[in-house]
């Protein structure tokens, strides 16, 4: 069983390394989005599967999130990204809990922020997961695996992640919807007329304002929790 876990982890890490070093990931993801756009209804299934795989393999999802806005539009793009990112986060969480526990523990042992989160999650469970998802200072891909080491339940983790990621998802999908073509997704701003910029600007500023406001509230609450004494016995969430 131990060697099986090591083999699974080696495959995950190996694929991530190969993708990072052998390919121009942003360009590859844009080409993939173009292919998904040509698939029609099937493209939704492929997009969600790709997003899940990217999350598990530590591939940054910003291009995919932005591209969803261009390919599917704001509403549908938000739904599909939300599904893909939430399931991907849960998949990485389960890998961290049942497959790669020793490796993840080694990666996070020297990080005082993750140690604080570990103890805080033991006391607060899904609440801390929700707050860290609202705050952009915590790395999404690594934290998915790290939470697998904590006592938070898989169900609580899934729903807290899903709800906590929604504001940021809406903002990035909306921004991606402004792109003139897939080649500019994540690389340049859309070229539009004055009226377009006025209309898009109002909506974008409103989205950013709401996201920033909620993020500040989450960061303040998170900091208050992490500054509490961390030597109290942990109470694992059932």
Q: What is the mean pLDDT of residues 6-33?
A: 63
Q: What is the DSSP string of 58-77?
A: T---HHHHHHHHHHH-HHHH
Give pLDDT tens digits for 160-195: 999 988 888 888 898 888 876 776 676 655 455 554
| Cα dihedral 106, 112, 115, 121 in deg (nearest 10) | -140
Q: Which residues have a Cβ under 8 Å from the Cβ of 219 and sit 6 or more positions away?
A: 131, 134, 135, 137
The pLDDT confidence band at residue 26, using thresholds 50, 70 and 90, is confident
- Please state, in angstroms and rounded to a whole number, the distance separating the CA atoms of residues 53 and 16: 10
The answer for 186, left when phi > 0, alpha when psi is -120 to 50, beta otherwise, is: left
pLDDT of residue 197 exceeding 60, the answer is no
Give pLDDT tens digits for 40-98: 889 999 999 999 999 988 888 888 999 999 999 999 999 999 999 999 999 999 988 88
Give pLDDT tens digits for 131-160: 778 776 677 888 888 888 777 889 999 999
pTM score, two decimals? 0.69
């Amino acid at each position: 069983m131990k060697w099986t876990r090591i083999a699974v982890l080696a495959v995950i890490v190996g694929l991530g390394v190969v993708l990072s070093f052998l390919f121009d990931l942003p360009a590859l993801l844009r080409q993939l989005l173009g292919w998904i756009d040509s698939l029609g209804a099937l493209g939704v299934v492929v997009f969600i599967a790709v997003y899940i795989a990217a999350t598990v393999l530590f591939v940054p999802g910003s291009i995919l999130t932005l591209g969803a806005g261009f390919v599917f539009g704001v509403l549908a793009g938000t739904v599909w990204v939300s599904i893909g990112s939430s399931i991907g986060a849960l998949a990485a969480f389960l890998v961290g809990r049942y497959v790669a526990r020793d490796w993840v523990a080694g990666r996070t042992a020297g990080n005082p922020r993750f140690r604080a989160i570990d103890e805080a999650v033991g006391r607060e469970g899904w609440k801390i997961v929700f707050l860290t998802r609202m705050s952009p200072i915590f790395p999404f891909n690594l934290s998915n695996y790290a939470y697998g080491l904590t006592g938070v339940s898989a169900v609580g983790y899934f729903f807290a992640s899903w709800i906590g990621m929604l504001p940021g998802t809406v903002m990035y999908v909306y921004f991606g919807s402004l792109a003139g073509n897939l080649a500019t997704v994540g690389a340049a701003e859309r070229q539009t007329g004055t009226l377009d910029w006025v209309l898009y600007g109002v909506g974008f500023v409103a989205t950013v304002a709401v996201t920033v406001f909620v993020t500040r509230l989450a960061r303040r609450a998170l900091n208050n929790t992490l500054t509490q004494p961390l030597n109290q016995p942990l109470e694992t969430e059932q």
